[in-house]
Structure 1
Amino acid sequence: MPIISVFFGIIIRMYHDDHPPPHFHAFYQGFEAFVGIADGEIIAGTLPNKAARIVRQWALDHQAELMANWSRGEALEPMELIPGADQDD
């Protein structure tokens, strides 16, 4: 599963040809969550509250890039890296 972003110790991955709805996987200190691209909300799994807030805001800020990667994944094409929340202004 390709890593598409890393920030504040949070690793964001996305599977190729994954099941709907469009989502990504966030990993942080032994926690894992499936996060919806549309709203940044956790679909399944869990993250600590602070990490969940950071991931949600990052997802909303990078929704277009995440959807572009989702489309690449459906087409089995290489995904692009997305800047992390620690690089956002």
Structure 2
Amino acid sequence: MIEIESLAVIAGSLPHRALGLVIEWASMHQKDLSAAWEDAKALQPLRKIAPLK
């Protein structure tokens, strides 16, 4: 689990390279992730977020 605002790992682990890619992607999409989290809490459909290129 990674906290959206700080991008800190709060539970679990990943190999270093994979974690780096996840953090890179999440930093590019923090606003989208925050909006998706709010939608999920409101039981709304989730929108797709672009993959890392």
> TM-score higher than 0.5 here?
yes
TM-score by length of 1: 0.57
- Aligned partners of 1:49, 1:70: CA distance in 2, in Å? 25
Is the strand fraction higher in 1 or 2? Answer: 1
| Structure with the higher helix share, 1 or 2 | 2
- Find the aligned partners of 2:31 and 2:47 in 1 and give their Cα distance: 12
- Structure 2, gaps ≥5 residues long: none
1:18-48 CA deviation, whole Å, 9 max, x = no partner? xxxxxxxxxxxxxxxx111112221100000
Aligned CA-pair RMSD: 0.8
- Consecutive unaligned residues of structure 1, counting only runs of 5 or more, are 1-33
Tell me the secondary structure at the aligned position of residue 67 of structure 1: helix
Residue 35 (structure 2) pairs with residue 73 (structure 1): no
Runs of 4+ more than 2 Å apart: none
TM-score for the superposition, normalised by structure 2: 0.91
Does the alignment pair 1:82 with 2:49?
yes
Q: Find the aligned partners of 1:71 and 1:41 in 2 and give their Cα distance.
A: 19
1:51 aligns with 2:53: no
Identity %: 36
